Structure 1
Amino acid sequence: MDQGKSGKVQDVRLQNRKLMDITGVSQVESFDSEEFLLDTSCGPLAVRGHNLHMKNLSLEHGLVTIEGMIDSFVYLDGKAAAKSKGLLGKLFR
């Protein structure tokens, strides 16, 4: 298991593309039925799919469980994260 930039361990478990457990989550930036944007110990993470919803959230334990049809998940680099947050900032002004 590799340690992220903050020295904490992060696990991502995907079961049948329908249930995803993510540890090392420090904040949920935004979410809707098609995309979750999360701050994790390994960097910003985008989870995309259809009919997504949060089944479990425990920021005290750094755990998020997402249910639905998961199409992809990707760690965002600096440019993609800034673009994503910039778009969110425009939406929530």
Structure 2
Amino acid sequence: MIRLNVFFELKDAAKAEELKALCRELVEKSLTDKGNVAYDYFASGTREGVMMICETWQDEDVLKTHMAAEHFTTLVPKIEALTKDGLKLEKFTF
């Protein structure tokens, strides 16, 4: 199994709802990907504008397929464009 925790910070507070909508769409579509175990996003309760996408995959092959999917290649760049310093990825295997 593979767990990805992707951290990012909103660049412009006026774009918060747009960012949340993009995250919701990414979660909704990614949950239907083959090999997905879990996929969600969270807003920090302690740091304003900080968010995390948390995802779990069965193996590297299904993760690669997800990363090539149209919803991923379309939505992730839009999410990243709304962040201060891009996406920070932590990858864990178990």
TM-score (norm 1): 0.34
Higher-strand-fraction structure:
1
TM-score (norm 2): 0.34
Structure with the larger RCO, 1 or 2 (CA within 8 Å, 6+ apart): 2
